[in-house]
Structure 1
Amino acid sequence: MSLTGTPFFLFSILLLIVAVVLPFALWGRVAGPRLVRIVARLLMLLFAQITAITVVFVMVNNANNLYDSWGDLLGTGNHIDQARNLGADGLGGKNLKDEPKVLQHFRPADDPVLGAGVQMTDLKGQISGVNGEVYVWLPPQYNDPAYKNKKFPVVELLPGYPGSAKSWFGSLKANEQLGSLMQSGAVKPFILVAPRTNVLSNADSGCVNIPGKVNADSWLTVDVRQMVIDNFRAGDKPDSWGLAGYSAGAHCATKLALAHPDRYRAAVGMSGYNDPAIERDSLAGKDPKLRVETNPMHILKAANEAGKPPRTALYISGASGDGYQAGTGLKELAKNPTTVTVQQISSGAGGHTVPVWKRQVPEIFRWFGLYLRG
């Protein structure tokens, strides 16, 4: 039974009801020596406590999309085939133009909470060696005959850690919020792509490449990106691609956009951070060299010193102490053509939570409309 979704939630509630009723029905009927009766009653109370905690966990997990499967929760899932050294560009010496197209079979998303129109595929990353599910939502205009020759801009959606690829559709309701706005013209049409980011057991990859461990950067910026271009009418130039993330996903979005201006034009980071060590399970944060090299402040500063400030637009939002300072730090470093927009969120808006990020979805996509085109 899946960890997420309605069936397991209903099953956990059923167990809780049984756990509550059981002591009332059997408390005075337990037979045997006094020690046996005490142990039996303690077990009934323990069962009630465990089932109550399970129901709360399932409710929180379903609301925030933290863990997709039992493998994610228990750290037994394996999404890495190989992690060879792919070099500075993350391509391993390959030219994507010479590679065969990665044509995928898509099916309706397996969780109804994601809403209508979300489809998914299981992708084997030929460059990165990472395997995982990728969810895709197409804008209302995609199947409109008037747009049959149009290519659409794309935004990759990244969750926090721990986090599920479903979160932007399941918790933030991005597709439900944006569908009508795109249909009315209030927001430009975008293809939304949500790839798996939780690819390691009990560790945050930091969206970086670590030879021998994981090639999370190449998974997101090469394999997923190329797969979307090969399967949909998606633009293939940097001006057609953006990234958006919250919490740890905000760090990833900002870092990847600054590191790969040849692949992405814009990025949004909500309640993020620059120093990867802020996430205690971050592999990049635990490595002194990677901690510096993968800090967006360092990436931007190094590009500036090399005389090549990236043509990257960033939108950073957050409360004081929760992303705002990360944005102002980047803004102080930005040199043309780099632009950084910082939006301060009130400290009383709701904290580091899904509702705060959910409310920002329409605004950040209006902002994307200023920079991305098909």
Structure 2
Amino acid sequence: MGLTSAGTLSLLFLLAFGCMAATVRAWPRAAAPGPRAVGARALMLLGCQLSVLLALVTALNAHYLFYGSWTDLLSAAGGGAQAHRPAGGNAAAATRVVRTVQAGLDPGPRAEHVPAKDGQVERLDIRGVRTGLSSQAYVYLPPQYFQRAHAARRFPVVILLAGYPAADRLVWIHQGHVPEDAARAQARGRIQPMIYVMMRPTVVRGWDTECADVPGGPQVETFFAQDVPEAVAETYRVPRGRDGWALAGYSTGGFCAAKLAMLHSDRFSAAVSMAGHFDALMDPTTRDLYGGSRAVRMGDDLVWRLRHLPAPPVSILVASADTGEKTFPSAQRFMRAARPPLVVDKVLLRSGGHNFKTFRKYIPPSIRWLSARLRGE
């Protein structure tokens, strides 16, 4: 049974109720004085609490999809992380972009689907030419992409990066509803038609790399800044210049979006950070990303970069909440440090936690903001 399956949840809740029923039945027998009876009562209470806690935590995970499988859970605990093999001299020979049509706003096939009317979701399997890293991307193409009147048009691109670990590969579709929001806004004339490349930042299982080029390890920054845009450009009609490219993300993906835009302003002109931090994290999920080098770590700290290095010519939208958002102090430091030619706008909620219910509120205004700044060809 899968980690998030109904069978697993049902079994765990039955176990919790069974434990409580057994405790109620056995309690009179364990009511006698003495250390053995006291120990028995303590074990019964502890067993019930653990079974209830396990059921609730599993249900919470199934709702928010922190971990989508047992493998993802074990990897996050350090039991399944895969060693990374850097790309060698023959990396170019291993480069691959496989395009698979999913059809419709939902990747499930639909007989009545008409791309020129409904748009289309496709899957790209990307293997980086420089890095040897591989990842899947789900691409939403607007209806105009398939219409004869726009056959020569190059559409702006937004690369969307989820948080860590984002166990559901379709999180931008299942929970973010990006294709539906984009189609609805386009139909109402609120945004221009754009291409959305929906991805996870987790390209090395069980490791929150913060989209960094790890010394002696996976070159994740290079993968998203160079390999992914080139794979998309080889596959679709997209702008040649930076004015047609942007990134957006939530949580870790928000940090990645802002960082990649700032460090690669030759490729990207704008980014949206939804509840993202702006400093260089280091915790059990990130391990040591910086090879013990303070200089390398500071290079990933966006506030430090603004205080000590020239500001890049990009636009950043900070989407956060005044109350309840743990990354808001970091966002405040970033906004205070911002200076031209960097342009910073903000969308602030009065309150909102660090969860997808809140992230979902940032997506529509973020799409409108990006549409107003990107240019197709």
TM-score class, shorter-chain normalisation, is: 0.7 to 0.9
How many residues align structurally?
349
| Matches of 1:173 and 1:364, distance apart in 2 | 13
Q: Structure 1 length as normaliser, TM-score?
A: 0.77
Contact residue 160 and residue 246 of structure 1 kept, 8 A:
yes
- Paired amino acid for 1:73: L
Contact residue 114 and residue 166 of structure 1 kept, 8 A:
no
In the other structure, the counterpart of 1:154 is 157
Given the superposition, is the C-alpha separation of residues 26 and 332 from structure 1 closer, same or farther in structure 2, using an over 3 Å criterion?
closer
Given the superposition, is the C-alpha separation of residues 60 and 149 from structure 1 closer, same or farther in structure 2, using an over 3 Å criterion?
farther
Identical positions, percent: 28
Alignment partner of 1:281 out of 272, 279, 285: 285
| Matches of 1:103 and 1:222, distance apart in 2 | 14
Structure 1 residue 322 corresponds to structure 2 residue 319: no
- Paired amino acid for 1:228: V
In the other structure, the counterpart of 1:311 is 313
Q: Please state how far the C-alpha of 1:163 moved relative to its aligned partner.
A: 2.5
| Matches of 1:181 and 1:142, distance apart in 2 | 16
In the other structure, the counterpart of 1:250 is 254
In the other structure, the counterpart of 1:342 is 346
Q: Deviations over 1:163-188 (max 9, x none)?
A: 24433222222222222112222122
Q: Structure 2 length as normaliser, TM-score?
A: 0.76
Q: Deviations over 1:252-283 (max 9, x none)?
A: 11111000001111000122222122766334
Contact residue 2 and residue 69 of structure 2 kept, 8 A:
yes
Q: Which 5+ residue runs of structure 1 have no aligned equivalent? A: 30-40, 86-91
Q: Please state how far the C-alpha of 1:230 moved relative to its aligned partner.
A: 1.4
Query: Secondary structure at the residue paired with 2:248?
Result: strand
Contact residue 248 and residue 272 of structure 1 kept, 8 A:
yes
In the other structure, the counterpart of 2:208 is 204
Query: Secondary structure at the residue paired with 1:289?
Result: helix
Q: Please state how far the C-alpha of 1:229 moved relative to its aligned partner.
A: 1.4
Alignment partner of 1:12 out of 2, 9, 30: 9
In the other structure, the counterpart of 2:300 is 294
Contact residue 84 and residue 211 of structure 1 kept, 8 A:
no
Q: Please state how far the C-alpha of 1:284 moved relative to its aligned partner.
A: 3.8
- Paired amino acid for 2:223: W
- Paired amino acid for 1:257: A
| Matches of 1:43 and 1:237, distance apart in 2 | 66
Q: Which 5+ residue runs of structure 2 have no aligned equivalent? A: 27-40, 111-119
| Matches of 1:371 and 1:181, distance apart in 2 | 16
After superposition, residues 1-374 of structure 1 pair within 5 angstroms as 2-4=2-4, 8-14=5-11, 16-17=13-14, 20=17, 52-53=52-53, 55-75=55-75, 81-83=84-86, 102-108=96-102, 117-164=120-167, 165-277=169-281, 281-282=285-286, 283-284=288-289, 287-304=293-310, 309-320=311-322, 322-323=327-328, 325-327=330-332, 329-330=334-335, 332-336=337-341, 338-346=342-350, 349-374=351-376
In the other structure, the counterpart of 1:34 is none
Q: Deviations over 1:56-92 (max 9, x none)?
A: 344433433322433221115556652369xxxxxx9
| Matches of 2:355 and 2:159, distance apart in 1 | 20
